[in-house]
């Protein structure tokens, strides 16, 4: 009886093997190739894509966390304190105030369109948004906390427990918190600015003067650095190429060394990530040291130290007119 | 067994081998392979695209750096993905690919750093290059044309642009020289404004001078970094590894085919052997079945025997129970019919009977009575003469009989018996024997099943028949006794009734007799009053006698009436103090006591539940008698005393006198109505007094006795209960 069963089993196995072996090993697979943006666009500035694909649950959770002061040591400072969505994604202050009324050392960059930057922070020390979150949460003069403390606090809330559990198998962890916040931050894009409308072909979206401003922007050389979809944010540049900015300003701090603090290479002294000019009319004061209060000041300083030329007031005004067309629209939870 | 184990091991081994080979032929995951090689190809594409974009940026064909960033990050991502080298490669092969990838990554990160520098410098140099001509022209406009410095500035512009366009650095000292000359240009001859313009122009020239070789060098470094070669190397290694794996699996596949064919052959061999084995097995099976069948038959037989034994024991038990039920039935049943029903039930438990009856012989009427009869078809037959039926046959022969239909026919033919009613299939009858002879017959019969009973049943029935006979005898005796008791009770009731009637009669009679008597007295009085003078001595005497007789009659009637009143005018019982009653009686008899000079003593007379008037009468009669029957010339001495007796809650009161007494042989007579021991002339009275006393005492559930010695006195003893059951309190 056993032999009989064995024989039948072997027979079935044999038939199965023959069938499987005859299967063609040449299965064609459709490769997944991401579509690169058209680099032969006529303009050096590209419009912000109108759509971004994100998990709405993560975005909602990220928004809660973004506004939650529990992420700071003494529960007083949330991300939104320094990156207010009503203030162009900044706090519109020279330096931000962290826990215990401590004053920061560098101007808070805008959170809007930060996902379009090639690296994060002024000195580009974070490769992506997730890594960036470690910075302010741990900086003693900002939120002064740590992940052990934050996860412990958040775990006490049943609502967080259920929300995290519904999205992440591992629940509340540093990784999941960062993932949720980064998801929310990726939703913070501001498409459809008047200038973007113009780029998409709507000639009436901006005025003739603004168009002239854009031409000035290009012709005087601003465009050398402020280009691409984010109008900046895609490479590093030294502050004061054609003039000693720091000598003129004085009182040089360690922060002013910029990317040098990351690479410790002589060449990287005073090098910063070129900031985005999107929504620039709202992100004052300007520069890493928050020294320029108005756009006019900023344009003048930039032209002097970066372009090595004196711009006339007319040119400056013209450029500022253009810059004001870069205010985009933030829509909650874009798809 | 050892052969089996061997076969098992071989079989399992074959399956394991085939599974192993099958797994080996399928190690190449085509999806993984295609993903990997596609990614490699994609990386090569990106690498060359990056180089191209760098060059385009360098020469201003593209102004935005976004594409550079996208390509770099894409390359990083792909590089990370390629870390998952397909599993089907050997371990060392995987390691080799990993090593090459690490090398590529190192090159790539070097490249990325260079690109970053390139982006910064390229932006600056492009800006300066764009503005430098404007700066020079701005300056030359302010310097007069004839001024040699005008030419100097133009020469600088020419040289810087040439420097930028050529690939060597030969112009560098010349340009530096010219800048030096311009710096020495007398500043006083120019305004501050011009001075600033000059400085700006010089700084842009310096920027171009400084950055041009740097940028060129960066571009050169970027494009010469052997990333493409490294990728080519990886692709080469990977392809050779992949081909090797494919060849390997092909070899395994071939081996699998060979093993499969062997396996098929083996299976065929096994099937043939199994078929043979099956035929042999069938033969064995058949003989086995036969053996099993014969064994089963044996077993069934012994089982049957065992069951018979069990049935026998059960039967014995049932029989014993039946007999005991019959014996018990004598005491638990109240009459013969119930007993017979119990007997029937007991028999039915053991014997299946369509008909069961008990026929008893009545010697007085010489009839066979169907005392108990249960039948499937026939109704109860009437009592019959001891004829020639089967029942009579058994009764006569006094022998238990088990008779089948054939025997019945035989007996019928020989004229010994005559069958009444339905002819049964089998008939079983036993005589009911007692020490005094046969009293009847117990019969069970079955109309259909001739084998319903056997000799065993006959034995059982005859033994139970003896018990039944005894039981019937006892039951009959009990019934006779009960009948006697019942008759006695009826007689008693009748007696009581007649007694009551007599009482009523006495009362009615005496009451109604008074009326004519009063008339006789009234008219005799009137006769005496009116016509006494007219009568002579003899007539007068007759009249007197008539009157005297009438008075006596009245006395008699009154006494009779009071006697009957003891029961008719009775009053309910209540506590009565006998001493009080006695004193009242003595006070009533005061005249007589004084007359006779009697002494009466009362000692310890108690209180009892009684009819007060009747107690008074009792006392009066007894004390009155004691005063009446006195000895001549002797003063009567009367003592009434209580003798305390503890028994039964009763008391004895004795009335003792010293009178004439009586002969004790008349004791019964003295308590009878109208019975006198003495002549009317000696002692007055109607002879009712003591009868009344007795009646009163009896009504009080007591007794009265008398003892006497003639001429020495008499003692009347009254015994009364202290408490009456229905006394009123």
Cα distances from B486 to residues B149, B481, B482, in angstroms, run 178, 9, 6
CB B175 within 8 A of CB B163: yes
- pLDDT value at A46 more than 60: yes
> What does the pLDDT read at residue B262?
86
> What does the pLDDT read at residue B662?
86
Q: Is A5 on the interface with B (CB under 8 A)?
A: no
Report H helices in B166-191.
172-184
> What does the pLDDT read at residue A259?
94
Task: Compute the C-alpha angle B237/B242/B245, nearest 5°.
Answer: 130
Q: Which residues of B546-573 are buried (b: 16+ CB within 10 A; e: fewer)?
A: bbeebeebbebbebbbbbbbbbeeeeeb
Q: Is B32 on the interface with A (CB under 8 A)?
A: no
pLDDT band at A9 (very low <50, low <70, confident <90, very high): low
> What does the pLDDT read at residue A335?
44
> What does the pLDDT read at residue B272?
92
- Short-list A52, A297, A298, A20, CA closest to A184: A52
Mean pLDDT on A315-331: 93
- A106-157 pLDDT, tens digit per residue, is 999 999 999 999 999 999 999 999 999 999 999 999 999 999 999 999 999 9
The total of other beta-carbon atoms located within 10 Å of residue B595's CB is: 10
How many angstroms separate the CA atoms of B353 and B460, rounded? 14
> What does the pLDDT read at residue B722?
85
Asked if A21's CB is within 8 angstroms of B256's CB, the reply is yes
> What does the pLDDT read at residue B729?
47
> What does the pLDDT read at residue A28?
36
- Which secondary structure element, helix H or strand E, spans residue B444, and what is its range? strand B437-446
Considering only the beta carbons, identify the residue of A21, A224, A237 that sits closest to B253: A21
Instruction: Name the catalytic one among A43, A127, A130, A142.
Output: A142
In B312-397, where do the E strands start and end? 355-362, 367-375, 384-385
- A281-306 pLDDT, tens digit per residue, is 999 999 999 999 999 999 999 999 99
From chain A, the residues in CB contact with B136 under 8 A are: none
- Short-list B498, B617, B503, CA closest to B560: B503
> What does the pLDDT read at residue A13?
63
- B239-266 pLDDT, tens digit per residue, is 999 999 899 889 988 998 998 898 888 8
Chain A residues 210-239 within an 8 A CB cutoff of chain B:
220-221, 223-225, 227-229, 234-238
Structure tokens given for A5: 């069963």
How many angstroms separate the CA atoms of A93 and A107, rounded? 7
Cα distances from B457 to residues B400, B411, B424, B451, B460, in angstroms, run 11, 22, 16, 11, 5
Q: What is the 3-state secondary structure (H, E, C) of chain A?
A: CHHHHHHHHHHHHHHHHHHHHCCCCCCCCCCCCCCCCCCCCCCCECCCCCCCCCCHHHHHHHHHHHCCHHHCCCCCCCHHHHCEHHHCCECCCCCCECHHHCECCCCCCCCCCHHHCCCECCCCCECCHHHHHHHHHHCCCCCCCCHHHHHHHHHCCHHHHHHHHHHCCCCCCHHHHHHHHHHHHHCCCCCCCHHHHHHCCCCCCCCHHHHHHHHHHHHCCHHHHCCECCCCCCCEEECCCCCCHHHHHCCCCCHHHECHHHHCCHHHCCEEECCCCCCHHHCCCECCCCCECCHHHHHHHHHHHHHCCCCCHHHHHHHHHHHHHHCCCCCCCCC
> What does the pLDDT read at residue B726?
67
Chain B residues 104-123 within an 8 A CB cutoff of chain A:
116-117, 119-120, 123
> What does the pLDDT read at residue A23?
43
In angstroms, the separation between the Cα of residue A81 and the nearest Cα of chain B is: 31
Considering only the beta carbons, identify the residue of A20, A44, A271 that sits closest to B63: A44
Radius of gyration for the alpha carbons in chain B, expressed in angstroms and rounded? 79
> What does the pLDDT read at residue B270?
85
Higher pLDDT, B649 or A208: A208
- pLDDT value at A59 more than 90: yes
Comparing alpha-carbon positions, the chain B residue that sits nearest to A243 is B203
Asked if B128's CB is within 8 angstroms of A10's CB, the reply is no
Q: Say how many residues make up chain B.
A: 729
Low-confidence ranges of chain B (pLDDT < 70): 1-3, 185-193, 420, 644-647, 726-729
Average pLDDT of chain B is: 84
Q: Say how many residues make up chain A.
A: 335
The total of other beta-carbon atoms located within 10 Å of residue B156's CB is: 23
Phi, psi of B686 (to 5 degrees): -100, -10
> What does the pLDDT read at residue B371?
72
> What does the pLDDT read at residue B350?
77
Which residues are within 8 A (CB) of B372 and not within 5 positions of it... i.e. 6 or more apart?
A: B337, B340, B341, B343, B344, B356, B357, B358
């Amino acid at each position: 009886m056993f032999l009989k069963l064995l024989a039948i089993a072997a027979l079935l196995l044999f038939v199965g093997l023959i069938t499987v072996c005859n299967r063609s090993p040449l299965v064609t697979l459709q490769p997944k190739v991401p579509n690169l943006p058209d680099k032969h666009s006529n303009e050096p500035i590209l419009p912000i894509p109108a759509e971004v694909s994100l998990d709405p649950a993560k975005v909602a959770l990220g928004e809660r966390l973004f506004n939650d002061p529990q992420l700071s040591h003494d529960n007083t400072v949330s991300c939104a304190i320094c990156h207010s969505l009503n203030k162009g994604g900044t706090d519109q202050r020279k330096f931000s105030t962290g826990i215990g009324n401590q004053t920061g050392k560098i101007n808070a960059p805008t959170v809007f369109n930060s996902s379009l930057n090639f690296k994060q922070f002024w000195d580009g020390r974070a490769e992506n948004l997730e890594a960036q979150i470690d910075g302010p949460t741990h900086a003693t003069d900002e939120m002064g906390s740590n992940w052990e403390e934050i996860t412990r606090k958040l775990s006490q809330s049943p609502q967080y427990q259920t929300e995290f559990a519904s999205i992440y198998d591992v629940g509340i962890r540093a990784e999941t918190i960062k993932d949720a916040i980064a998801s929310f931050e990726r939703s913070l894009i501001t498409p459809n600015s008047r200038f973007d409308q113009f780029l998409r072909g709507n000639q009436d979206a901006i005025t003739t003067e603004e168009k002239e401003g854009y031409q000035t922007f290009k012709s005087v050389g601003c465009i050398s650095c402020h280009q691409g979809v984010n109008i900046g944010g895609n490479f590093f540049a030294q502050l004061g190429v054609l003039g000693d900015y720091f000598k003129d300003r004085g009182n040089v701090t360690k922060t002013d060394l910029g990317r040098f603090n990351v690479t410790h290479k002589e060449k990287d002294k005073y090098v910063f990530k070129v900031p985005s000019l999107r929504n620039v009319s709202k992100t004052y004061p300007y520069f890493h040291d928050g020294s320029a209060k108005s756009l006019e000041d900023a344009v003048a300083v930039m032209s002097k130290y970066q372009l090595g030329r004196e711009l006339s007031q007319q040119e400056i005004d013209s450029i500022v007119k253009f810059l004001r067309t870069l205010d985009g629209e933030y829509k909650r939870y874009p798809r | 067994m050892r052969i089996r184990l061997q076969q098992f091991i071989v079989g399992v081994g074959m399956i394991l081998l085939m599974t192993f080979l099958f797994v080996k032929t399928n190690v190449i995951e085509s999806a993984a392979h295609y993903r990997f090689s596609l990614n490699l190809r994609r990386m090569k594409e990106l690498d060359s695209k990056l180089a191209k974009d760098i060059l385009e940026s360098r020469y201003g064909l593209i102004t935005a750096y976004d594409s550079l960033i996208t390509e770099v990050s894409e390359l990083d991502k792909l590089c990370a993905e390629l870390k998952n080298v397909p599993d089907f490669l050997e371990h060392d092969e995987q390691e080799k690919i990993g090593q090459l990838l690490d090398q590529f990554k190192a090159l790539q990160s070097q490249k990325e750093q260079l690109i970053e520098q390139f982006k910064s410098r390229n932006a600056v140099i492009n800006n300066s290059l764009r503005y430098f001509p404007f700066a020079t022209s701005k300056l030359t406009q302010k310097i007069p044309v004839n001024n040699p410095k005008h030419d100097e500035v133009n020469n600088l512009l020419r040289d810087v642009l040439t420097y930028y366009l050529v690939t060597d650095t030969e112009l560098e000292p010349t340009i530096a020289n010219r800048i030096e000359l311009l710096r020495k240009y007398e500043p006083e001859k120019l305004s501050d404004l011009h001075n600033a313009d000059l400085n700006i122009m010089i700084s842009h020239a310096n920027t171009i001078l400084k950055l041009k070789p740097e940028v060129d060098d960066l571009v050169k470094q970027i494009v010469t970094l052997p990333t493409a070669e490294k990728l080519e190397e990886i692709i080469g290694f990977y392809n050779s590894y992949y081909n090797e794996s494919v060849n390997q699996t092909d070899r395994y596949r071939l081996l699998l085919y060979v093993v499969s064919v062997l396996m098929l052959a083996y299976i065929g061999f096994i099937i043939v052997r199994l078929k043979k084995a099956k035929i042999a097995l069938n033969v064995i099976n058949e003989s086995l079945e036969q053996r099993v069948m014969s064994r089963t038959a044996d077993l069934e037989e012994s089982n049957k025997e065992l069951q018979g034994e069990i049935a026998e024991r059960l039967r014995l038990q049932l029989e014993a129970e039946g007999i005991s039920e019959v014996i018990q039935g004598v005491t638990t049943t109240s009459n013969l019919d119930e007993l017979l029903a119990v007997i029937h039930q007991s028999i039915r438990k053991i014997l299946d009977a369509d008909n069961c009856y008990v026929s008893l012989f009545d010697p007085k009427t010489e009839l066979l009575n169907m005392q108990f009869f249960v039948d499937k078809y026939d109704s109860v037959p009437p009592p019959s003469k001891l004829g020639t039926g089967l029942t009579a046959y058994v009764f006569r022969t006094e022998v238990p009989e088990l008779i089948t239909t054939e025997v019945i026919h035989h007996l019928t033919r020989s004229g010994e018996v005559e069958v009444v009613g339905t002819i049964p299939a089998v008939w079983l009858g036993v005589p009911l024997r007692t020490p005094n002879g046969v009293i009847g017959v117990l019969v069970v019969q079955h109309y259909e099943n001739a084998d319903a009973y056997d000799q065993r049943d006959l034995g059982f029935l005859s033994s139970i028949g003896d018990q039944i006979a005894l039981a019937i005898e006892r039951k009959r005796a009990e019934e006779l006794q009960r009948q006697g008791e019942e008759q006695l009770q009826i007689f008693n009731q009748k007696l009581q009734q007649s007694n009551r009637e007599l009482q009523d009669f006495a009362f009615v009679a005496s009451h109604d007799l008074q009326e004519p008597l009063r008339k006789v007295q009234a008219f005799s009085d009137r006769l005496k009053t009116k016509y006494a003078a007219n009568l002579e001595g003899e007539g007068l005497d007759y009249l007197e006698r008539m009157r005297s007789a009438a008075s006596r009659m009245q006395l008699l009637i009154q006494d009779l009436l009071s006697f009957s009143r003891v029961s008719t005018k009775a009053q309910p019982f209540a506590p009565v103090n006998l001493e009080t009653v006695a004193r009242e009686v003595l006070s009533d008899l005061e005249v007589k006591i004084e007359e006779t000079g009697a002494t009466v003593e009362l000692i310890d007379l108690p209180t009892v539940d009684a009819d007060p008037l009747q107690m008074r009468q009792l006392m009066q009669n007894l004390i009155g008698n004691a005063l009446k029957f006195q000895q001549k010339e002797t003063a009567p001495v009367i003592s009434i005393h209580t003798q305390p007796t503890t028994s039964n809650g009763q008391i004895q009161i004795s009335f003792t006198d010293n009178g004439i007494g009586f002969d004790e042989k008349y004791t019964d007579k003295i308590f009878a109505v109208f019975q006198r021991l003495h002549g009317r002339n000696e002692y007055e009275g109607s002879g009712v007094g003591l009868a009344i006393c007795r009646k009163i005492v009896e009504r009080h559930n007591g007794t009265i006795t008398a003892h006497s010695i003639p001429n020495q006195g008499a003692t009347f003893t009254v015994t009364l209960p202290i408490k009456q059951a229905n006394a009123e309190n």
